[in-house]
Structure formats: structure tokens, C-alpha cells
Structure 1
Amino acid sequence: MAANLSHYRERVLEEINKTPVEHLPYLLQIIRIFRESISLKSAEESFIQGWREALDGETKPVSELWEGIDAD
């Protein structure tokens, strides 16, 4: 597995090195956004977001949440 990770790291770095300097700030932004989108939020952050959504009325009835789920 470590060999695969090293291979991917090398390939990513190769692509970065091929990127024109003027585009590096945008590439950095893309990488950060990607990393943040796949990272799990802390329990506190999740609670705060859920609480904010509830206060803003961004809720669904429980019956709607169960639609399409087989309980059998």
C-alpha cells in the first residue's frame, strides 16, 4: 500500500510541476476545497451545522426520510 501511495504522490507532484506558475494559486485552491469536501467534520461542527439548519427550517419529516428504505 505504501508503494501505491508513493506512486500517486509522485504522479500528483509531476502534474503540479507541469502546471504554469500563474495557475498555481488556483490549483492550491482546488486542492484545499477537495480536501475539505472529503474530510469529516468534527462532532461539534456537525452539531452546529445541524442546529443552524433546524433553526432555519431546513428540515424534512421523518416519514419522508424513510421513503425508499426497506425495513424488512
Structure 2
Amino acid sequence: MSARVYEKQIAKEIEQMPKEYLSNLLKIVRLYRESVTLNPAEESFRQGWKEAMHDETYPIADLWAGIDAE
């Protein structure tokens, strides 16, 4: 299914929701979105961990080279 079809279905469900529950629905949607967006951070950590375990790292002095920290 295309994203547009899902958007229409979601909109239809929201329209059928009693108004007094909309704030709770919004909280659920936001929590879900936040939990989904955490996956890239986990993937990034796993990649960094893999690199560290395989000694694929850079000296800290090299990382700071050219950065004016003052």
C-alpha cells in the first residue's frame, strides 16, 4: 500500500475518534514516533561498537585537529 492510502485510513480513524480521546491519541502517536526514531541511534551505537572492537578508531588528537575550541 502507498503512504497516501495509509494517510487516508489514519485520517478516517481519527475522524471516528470521540473528541475527548484525541489528546490521548496524540500522546500515543508521539510516543510511537519517538520510539521508532530511536532505532537509528541504536544502529549508530552498534556500528560504533563494532568499529571500536575492531580497532577502527582515530586518535582523539586527530579528531580535534583544526577545531578551534577557544
Name the TM-score, length of structure 2 as normaliser: 0.53
SS in 1 for 2:34: helix
Question: Residue 8 of structure 2 aligns to which amino acid in structure 1?
Answer: E
- Name the residue aligned to 2:2: 4
Question: Residues 41-56 of structure 1: matches in 2 within 5 Å?
Answer: none
Deviation at 1:4, TM superposition (A): 0.7
Deviation at 1:40, TM superposition (A): 3.2
Larger Rg: 2
Deviation at 1:41, TM superposition (A): 7.1
Moved over 2 A (4+): 40-43
Structure 1 gaps of 5+ residues are 48-72
Percent identity for Structure 1 against Structure 2: 40
- Name the residue aligned to 1:16: 14
